[in-house]
Structure 1
Amino acid sequence: MTEPRSPDEVAAGWYIFLREEPDDRDLRRQFEVWLRESPLHQQAWTEINETLGVLASVPPERKKSPGMGRRNGSMPANDRVGPRRVRMASFAGVAIAACVAAFVLVPDLTLRLRADHYTQAGVTEDIHLADGSEVILAPRSALAIHINADERRITLLRGEAYFVVHHDPSRPFTVTTGSVTTTDIGTAFDTRTEGGETSVAVREGAVHVSGTGGLPFERDLHAGDRIDVKGSQVEAGSQSPETVGLWRDGMLVAQGNTIAEMVTALQPWTRTHIIIAHDTLAARRVSGSYDLRHPETSLQLIVHPYGGKVMSVTSWLAVVAGR
């Protein structure tokens, strides 16, 4: 249902990691395989070099950060690699800051202006609405609330939320995610939206799901039913009702999901930006249960059986590569 990270994101990860591990031949080999896989990869690599090359050209005095040097401001004369490491750390810090600003901070600021509730990585929020309904907001999610005497309308701007709705026939309870609207018929259900994709799954009761604009469809979902919408494609499926919304208990269950999908599910639970740098590995399918409260360990457990290796660049960035 989800796709691997964009070529630009993967290229940014390779750029930083190759400079921190310049003598790692296996890493270089994996990078060259990735580079040859697609002209888009080559284009992204060229662009990231040009962009971060501009950052590298900033005068050294403007790239220094407090506390980076030694306490006495000097360096032993026989520490030949010291200056190189300091320059590398300074440059990596600038590059990582640029990536974070491009992929995280700017979109988040926009969401915060639109949202009534917003959660950060690894944090959930219980929201008790005035009508008696309850919303549990997943990490890195945002929603806007509009409730008055005539209607109850929620807009899920990003991420995932679990709804336990107090049924009121006189005031329909609707949740809008992009071009998909879910109307409660007395239920507990989960909905998720990310990157133009929307999913709705019902744990109890029933909902009515409909599309708007260029996505004309209508369907009733009951306990165990789910629907996945990606672009103009609408796919119906089913799952055990008790597995709907298990993330509330810190559990991630895979039932033949791709590693790319699992990484997407793990991402909101960690501040570390995860990049998959191996397309074949991203497409491998896994099954099992994983602990969302320990996303780094879960990531290792997901990729290791398939030859995957998680390389931690910094606390902000991890690259998943294949052997």
Structure 2
Amino acid sequence: MTLPPPPPDDELARHADALRGLLPTPAQIYRRADRRRHARRAGGLLAACVAMALLLWIDPAVQTMHFATAIGERKNVSLPDGSQLVLNTGTRLDMAYSLRARRFTLHEGEAVFTVSHSPLRRFVVHTPQAQIEDIGTVFNVRSIAQKTRVSVVQGAVLVHGPAGDTRELQVGEALAVTRSAGPPQALGMPMSATADTAWREGKLVLDRMPLGELVDEIQRYRTAAIQLDDARLREIPLSGQFDIARIEGLIDLLPRLAPVRVQRRTDGSVVLEPAK
């Protein structure tokens, strides 16, 4: 195939302006390519910003851990951010660290949280009855028998109840949150936190504790059952300080503290009966 000869220069000159619009110069080509590169960079930056915003909004967990203690066991845990946990007997706790929050789910049991301050990452503890948000503090959370009890040792916490109500607790205060079969109950009045955290020192402190609650507390430290034979015994108030390591000795001491009789069975279980 033979190509026709190119047009003469004078004929091209007559159409120079039109050709310049159709055929850009090398400098124009470079400028357009540069603009496209900038546009691609801006688009990539925008996409990265959108992805980061979406990631922050979803806030997926980047590190998870599970902690548990057996009956009668206590455990100290150091967390990656410098916070500290002390787990009491029979505790199950899940941890999930994300970009914006440090979240813990206390399924059952009890733990003391010593929180390392981080203004960009909230420290929140969830239980079936409440959500506890740290404000820079040391606090105790107990979740047992459909009740959550929160005690503040240092600093302050916000406690969000099941009905959406919120209470701020200061040093030395404690409160209980319950969820009944009917409408959720309101947050209780603040109480002393001293007895709640005595377990860290291996002590069980009773401040007019009903016998029924003491039986529930003793059960946390032994595998064999302990129960009351008569429901009327549950409300008898008891006070005193005892060693958790000698919980069986406390059971034997109960007849001197309340009108009860201790019946020990061959399977290790204990029944408390009214004294005769």
- Which of residues 82, 88, 92 is equivalent to 1:132? 82
CA-CA distance at 1:196 after TM superposition: 1.0
Partner of 2:31: none
Any residues of structure 2 matched to 1:185-200 within 5 Å, and which? Answer: 185-200=135-150
Deviates most, 191-200 or 307-316: 307-316
Contact residue 259 and residue 303 of structure 1 kept, 8 A: no
Corresponding residue for 1:179?
129
Structure 2 match to 1:258: 210
Is 1:168 aligned with 2:118?
yes
How far apart, in 2, do the equivalents of 1:223 and 1:124 lie?
24
Shift of 1:164: 0.7
Between the aligned partners of 2:221 and 2:243, the Cα distance in structure 1 is 10
User: Which whole-Å CA distance do the structure 2 matches of 1:187 and 1:133 have between them?
Assistant: 10
Residue in structure 1 matched with residue 201 of structure 2 by the alignment: 249
Given that 2:198 and 2:204 are in contact with CA atoms closer than 8 Å, whether structure 1 keeps it comes out as: yes
1:186 to partner: Cα distance: 0.7
User: How much does 1:318 deviate?
Assistant: 1.2
Match of 1:65 in 2: none
The residue number in structure 2 matching 1:225 is 173
* Residue equivalent to 2:102: 152
Q: Distance in 1 between matches of 2:145 and 2:191?
A: 22
Question: Alignment partner for residue 224 of structure 2, among 272, 275, 284?
Answer: 272
The alpha-carbon distance between structure 1 residues 284 and 131, as it changes in their structure 2 partners (threshold 3 A), is: same
Q: 1:171 to 1:303 in 2, by over 3 A?
A: farther
Q: State the SS of the aligned residue for 1:236.
A: coil
Q: Deviations over 1:257-302 (max 9, x none)?
A: 1011111112111222111112222210011111111111112323
The AA in structure 1 aligned to 2:169 is: L
Q: Partner letter of residue 166 of structure 1?
A: S
Q: TM-score, normalised by structure 1?
A: 0.61
Q: Which amino acid aligns with 1:317?
A: S
Which structure would you say has the larger RCO, counting Cα contacts within 8 Å and 6 or more residues apart?
1
Bigger radius of gyration among the two? 2
SS at match of 1:161: strand
Could you tell me which amino acid in structure 2 is paired with residue 311 of structure 1? Q
> Secondary structure of the equivalent of 1:269?
coil
Give the match for residue 121 of structure 1: 71
Q: 2:53 matched to which residue of 1? A: none
- Tell me which amino acid in the other structure corresponds to 1:289: Q
Residue of structure 2 equivalent to 1:37: none
Aligned residue for 1:305? 257
**Could you list the runs of 5+ residues in structure 2 that have no partner in the other structure?**
1-63
Partners of 1:302 and 1:163 lie apart in 2 by: 32
SS state at 2:216 partner: helix
**Range with bigger deviation, 308-317 or 202-211:** 308-317
1:300–1:309 Cα contact (<8 Å) kept: no
Structure 1 residue 195: Cα displacement: 1.7
Match of 2:6 in 1: none
Post-superposition Cα deviations, 1:4-62, rounded to whole Å, max 9, x if no partner, equal xxxxxxxxxxxxxxxxxxxxxxxxxxxxxxxxxxxxxxxxxxxxxxxxxxxxxxxxxxx
Counting matched residue pairs gives 207
Alpha-carbon deviation of 1:316?
3.8
Over residues 185-219 of structure 1, what are the superposed CA-to-partner deviations in whole Å (9 max), with x where a residue is unaligned? 0111111111211110101100011124xx22101
Q: Does 1:208 align with 2:158?
A: yes
Report the secondary structure of 2:82's partner residue: coil
**Farther off after superposition, 264-273 or 252-261:** 264-273
Bigger fraction of residues in helix: 1
Cα distance 1:134–1:314, how it changes in 2: closer, same or farther (>3 A)? farther
What is residue 235 of structure 1 aligned with on the other side? 188
Shift of 1:313: 1.1
Among the aligned pairs, what percent are the same residue? 29
Q: For residues 201 and 218 of structure 2, what CA distance do their matches in structure 1 show? A: 14
Does the C-alpha gap of structure 1 residues 199 and 242 become closer, same or farther in structure 2, counting only changes over 3 Å? closer
C-alpha change, 1:301 and 1:172, in structure 2 (3 Å) is same
Instruction: Give distance in 1, aligned partners of 2:148 and 2:157.
Output: 15
Normalising by structure 2, report the TM-score: 0.71
Tell me what 1:42 maps to: none
Partner SS for 2:265? strand
Q: 1:115 and 1:308, CA in 2 relative to 1: closer, same or farther beyond 3 A?
A: farther
**Residues 294/225 of structure 1: CA separation in 2 closer, same or farther (3 Å cut):** same
Pairwise CA distance, 1:179: 2.9
Q: What does 1:20-99 correspond to in 2, within 5 Å? A: none
The CA RMSD measured in Å over matched residues stands at 1.8
How far did residue 117 of structure 1 move?
1.2
CA distance in 2, matches of 1:303, 1:217: 42
**Any unmatched runs of 5+ in structure 1?**
1-113
